[in-house]
């Protein structure tokens, strides 16, 4: 018998793939059409809440969870590195995200 995921798991896998794709698109258009990338982020976030999925970890540093804007470092987002921490400040709404910093292996 082939092993099958439940329908629910399937939906979630597709949802996560879609979220990732939307962020890729957001990144692609961010230079020319920043307002469009914000729309992609909002779209992705809608999927996150609708399917109750955990967004991929690296997305935490790519957008503001509060005002849902796509972060462009130095443009609408300030990044400060402290000991063991990276602090992201959204320049649009002031939301602050602190993430533990681990050097890439």
Residues that bind Zn ion (CB under 5 A): 64, 66-67, 90, 92-93, 95
Dist. CA 2–CA 78, nearest whole Å: 49
Strands (E), 38-101: 77-82, 85-90, 96-100
Smallest gap from residue 77 Cβ to Zn ion (A)? 8
Q: Which is nearer to Zn ion, 5 or 66 (CB)?
A: 66
CB of 8 to Zn ion, least distance (A): 31
Indicate the residue among 22 and 38 with the shorter CB distance to Zn ion.
38
- Nearer to Zn ion by Cβ, of 11 and 65: the residue is 65
Q: Are 61 and 72 in contact, with CB atoms under 8 Å apart?
A: no
Q: Are 89 and 96 in contact (CB under 8 A)?
A: yes
Q: Tell me phi and psi for residue 75, to 5 degrees.
A: -105, -65
CB 104 to Zn ion: min, Å: 26
């Amino acid at each position: 018998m082939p092993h099958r995921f439940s329908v629910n798991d399937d939906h979630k896998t597709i949802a996560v793939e879609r979220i990732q794709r939307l962020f890729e698109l957001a990144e692609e258009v961010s230079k020319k059409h920043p307002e469009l990338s914000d729309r992609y982020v909002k779209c992705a976030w809608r999927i996150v809440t609708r399917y109750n999925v955990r967004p991929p970890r690296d997305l935490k540093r790519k957008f503001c969870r509060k005002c849902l804007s796509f972060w462009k470092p130095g443009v609408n987002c300030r990044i400060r590195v402290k000991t063991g921490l990276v602090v992201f400040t959204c320049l649009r709404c002031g939301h602050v995200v602190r993430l533990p910093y681990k050097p890439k292996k």
